[in-house]
Chain A
Amino acid sequence: MGMDMEMAAKEKKREKETLRMELESRSENEEFARVAVAMFMSRMDPTMEEMEDVKTAVSEAVTNGVIHGYAGGEGIIYIEVTIEGRELAVVVKDTGAGIPDVKKAMEPMYTTDTTGERSGMGFSFMEAFMDQVEVVSAPGEGTRVTMRKQIGR
């Protein structure tokens, strides 16, 4: 019992924890990614709405990686989720095509898709559902999206 209490005290002291995932770039993994992130953040005791918001934002970022980063081809999508106090940070990274003009890509309704099926609202959704979104990208090098949200405000 003494051991258990010691362990609990140690765990309590640890203020930052991180989940790292590497997923193959496949559309099936869009759901897997958002559910895994939601599961991890559930220990922050979020509201249903906060959890759904994060799921949507993660889905957008991973979908971008699958569709644009790797254009439906092979590649790895890296996800890193960090909980630090009340802040949740999600990084979604690919090493694919990259975005030539990030500012333009982030404009609402902007899309390079020609089928008409894509709304061009991916980044707008990430911004609507998270507090802060940062995109770093370079052609040929890939894209890194960092999203932050305060949970339980």
Chain B
Amino acid sequence: MAEPVFTYEAKGQVLVIHLPRELDHHNCRNLRYETDLLLAENYIRKMVFDFSRTEFMDSSGIGILLNRYKQMDRSGGEVAIYGAGPRILRVLTIGGIGKLVPRYDSKEAAIAE
């Protein structure tokens, strides 16, 4: 069986989503279905995206982040990211995510805040 593209980790009411190396349209296809399922079955207050493995991202990545942000915002929840390198930061900034979603250096910081 192929390795899952996204891996999920629950830390209390925080859902940590480990992103793949290449965050493009192809790899983003199942994220909505998977997160909808997890949100329906668990009380999630915060969603944390882990970019530490991610080397490539295009506007598909911006699309899924924006949609998760809107989804969490509607229920009074939060979204945070950590582990983004310079390339990913550049893409996040151009995509307008920089101002919307807080960035942290480590998973612990992203979860704790």
Contact = CB atoms under 8 A, between A and B. Distances in A.
Interface of A: 27-28, 30-31, 34, 49, 52, 55-56, 59-60, 63, 66-67, 115-122, 124-125, 128-129
A116 B60 contact: no
Given A31-B26, A116-B67, A122-B59, 5 more contacts: A34-B56, A56-B91, A67-B25, A116-B70, A118-B60
Interface in B69-113: 70, 87, 90-91, 94-95
B32 interface: yes
Given A27-B26, A30-B26, A63-B24, A117 B59 contact: no
B66 interface: yes
B28 interface: yes
Given A56-B58, A118-B63, A125-B59, A66 B87 contact: no
Contact of A125 (B22, B28, B94): B94
The interface size bin for chain B is 20 to 34
Contacts of A30: 24-26
B29 interface: yes
Nearest to A119: B63
Contact of A28 (B26, B60, B90): B26
Contacts of B47: none
B15 interface: no
B17 interface: no
Contacts of A52: 56, 87
Contacts of B57: 56
B22 A117 contact: no
A115 B60 CA distance: 13
